Structure 1
Amino acid sequence: MGRIVRGEHPPGTPLPPEPALCETFAVSRTVVREAVKVLQEKGLVQVRQGSGTTVTAPALWNMLDEQVLAASIAQDESMAILDDLVVTRRLLESDMANVAARLATPEVVGQLRTLVDRMDELVDDHVTYAEHDRAFHDVIMQSSGNRIARGVVRALESQVVNTARYMGHPERAMCVASNRGHRRIYERIAAHDPGGAAEAMFTHITEAWLVRRSAPGDPVRLER
């Protein structure tokens, strides 16, 4: 998989024949066939009788597969994959914030306020702050009732939440700025302002990523 993602086997080219793969990886033909089957299930190759196994274009890869996503992120020096992840996350979470602002009960509003107030106290404890940060977003996602969108966001974030490329190097100022965004989201949800909550979430996710993002160049994917 790593060789395909790195471009050592470009899209449209055939994989080496079974004997060559067996020799390269020092495995049996059975293992090679099982590996090719897995690659096919993940969308990285296409197997056709009589014409062998061909590498597919990246557009056909299953980017929700944890191994494909992790390998793609590891090889992406431009951080375009992470930019796309952030764009997807802010789209889904903005919509969920919109719904949460309409549906939030007093209990949910109280939970959000407690988390925001607590995060103000945790700006010097990056690990515990991050745990409360995730809890804040999850309360909003659960409040929206959109289990599919929540599942997608959680699946994507689970692959990157502990990586330095996505999380950056947290500092006190970063946590302070991040929680200002959380408070704006909380205030709009507490006011039952769907449009304001969605905009606050969109802005917060975008700004927080731009602070953490370390790749050179203009992240055009983040433009509206």
Structure 2
Amino acid sequence: MMKKDDATTPERIVRRKLSDQVFERLRDLMSSGELPPGAPMPSERDLMERFGVGRPAVREALQHMHTMGLITISHGERSRVNELSAGSVLSRVDDVARMLLSSEPDQLDHLKQARRMFECGLVREAARQATPADVADLRDLIDRQRAVTREAQLFVSLDMAFHTRIAAISGNPILTATSQSMLRWLFQYHGILLHWSGNEEITLIEHQEIADRIAAADADGAVRVMQAHLDRSTDLYTHGNGQGTALD
């Protein structure tokens, strides 16, 4: 039963910005397939006529779509609808993630913990699903790492590629993109402070053990080796004293 006060209190009508409404209309056109990936966006004049709004509302809506990665605006050319993927969506938050890690250092420990849980799950699935081609790719990445032990940044890039390749064995693009993002955020946070710590050979041995467990379809063994691998790398991280180290 409605209270007396409720009956006499009018419901507020919220006035919404025209640009927000244009944005929602355009987003609906993309969702319905009327504006598919790769399609050119209608001209500003066409959008003004279609939605009955002025140029400022259209431009603000298009800029919002560009910022969100839904379209690409190129000077002198028609804007186009972007093809969305898990990777492209997650990459949009890179700057925010870097700011979060810098402004709230405790979040770095949370990220490392999340990565440990995530990667142990991934390596278990990899041991269950890996094909000979998957294992060959992992061994090739290890060989390439071994060839660049004196080039820290390249070694770390191949380190990231090794872990991402394990994620890719799942066949799930969201898992692969999430793995890439976690590694990228860690690298971006530690990248400026990166120095080499003389643990290249240990990393290579541990990567080899992980690949061997995956090749043997030993899920429990793969998880055990991955846990030890990530725990060791976490112990090597230093925070706030001007030093850094490799991702693992």
Relative to the length of structure 1, the TM-score reads 0.60
Distance 1:135 1:66, change over 3 A: closer
Q: In the aligned structure 2, how far is the partner of 1:105 from the partner of 1:166? A: 37
Question: Which one of 79, 91, 108 corresponds to residue 117 of structure 2?
Answer: 91
Contact 2:206/2:229, CA 8 A, preserved across alignment:
yes
How big is the shift at 1:67? Answer: 4.2
1:55-83, Cα deviation, whole Å (9 max, x unpaired): xxxxxxxxx9444422221123xx42111
Aligned amino acid, residue 148 of structure 1? I
1:157 aligned partner? 183
Q: What is the DSSP-based 3-state SS (H/G/I as helix, E as strand, rest coil) of the residue aligned with 1:155?
A: helix
- Greater RCO (Cα-Cα under 8 Å, separation 6 or more): 1
Following superposition of structure 1 onto structure 2, how do residues 35-74 of structure 1 map, counting pairs within 5 Å? 65-74=93-102
Aligned amino acid, residue 144 of structure 1? S
Q: Does 1:190 align with 2:218?
A: no
Question: Greater CA radius of gyration, 1 or 2?
Answer: 2
Q: What is the DSSP-based 3-state SS (H/G/I as helix, E as strand, rest coil) of the residue aligned with 1:102?
A: helix
Aligned amino acid, residue 96 of structure 1? L
Q: Which runs of 5+ in 1 are unaligned?
A: 1-33, 39-63, 217-224
Contact 1:82/1:166, CA 8 A, preserved across alignment:
no
Relative to the length of structure 2, the TM-score reads 0.54
Q: Which runs of 5+ in 2 are unaligned?
A: 1-59, 65-91, 242-248
Identity level (%): 27
How big is the shift at 1:104? Answer: 0.8
Contact 2:129/2:170, CA 8 A, preserved across alignment:
yes
Q: In the aligned structure 2, how far is the partner of 1:183 from the partner of 1:215? A: 32
Distance 1:166 1:121, change over 3 A: same
Question: Which one of 192, 201, 204 corresponds to residue 179 of structure 1?
Answer: 204
Distance 1:138 1:81, change over 3 A: same
1:124 aligned partner? 150
How big is the shift at 1:120? Answer: 2.1
Q: In the aligned structure 1, how far is the partner of 2:231 from the partner of 2:173? A: 23
Q: How many residues align?
A: 152
1:48 aligned partner? none
2:227 aligned partner? 202
Q: What is the DSSP-based 3-state SS (H/G/I as helix, E as strand, rest coil) of the residue aligned with 2:135?
A: helix
